[in-house]
Amino acid sequence: MATRDLFLCKFGVEMPIENGKQGFISVERAQHAAAKCANLAAKNILSLTTKETPLGIACEVFKTEYDLILNNTIAGAHATRRCHARAKPVVVIPP
């Protein structure tokens, strides 16, 4: 049963332009990898939560899981706790 609670879970993504392991990383590849990794991290974490799980805790655990998956997919990529000051926010609203 969904609670319909809303919580703003802010995070950033840092992606290398190039790394020694995978070479040049195009914007399209970076975006695809970031989205795929976010979906996997969300699936991993949200499948373990209950309606009693505090949303703030779930957000922090998601960011940790996302960082691990993202860095394993593209060496040098990281999910950060904060967005860069000049980054344009992207708001994802569920259907």
- C-alpha angle 60-92-6 in degrees, rounded to nearest 5: 60
Instruction: Using alpha carbons, list the distances in angstroms from residue 61 to 35, 56, 76, 80.
Output: 17, 9, 20, 12
- Report pLDDT digits (tens) over 37-84: 999 999 999 899 888 888 889 999 999 999 999 999 999 999 998 777
Residue 88 in this model has a pLDDT that exceeds 80? no
**What total number of domains does the chain contain?**
1
In this structure, what are the phi and psi dihedrals at residue 42, rounded to the nearest 5 degrees?
-60, -45
**Residue 6 covered by a domain:** no
- Report pLDDT digits (tens) over 5-25: 777 888 889 999 998 888 999
- C-alpha angle 68-69-70 in degrees, rounded to nearest 5: 95
Tell whether pTM > 0.95: no
Residues spanned by the domain of 47: 12-80
Residue 4 in this model has a pLDDT that exceeds 80? no
**Residue 18 covered by a domain:** yes
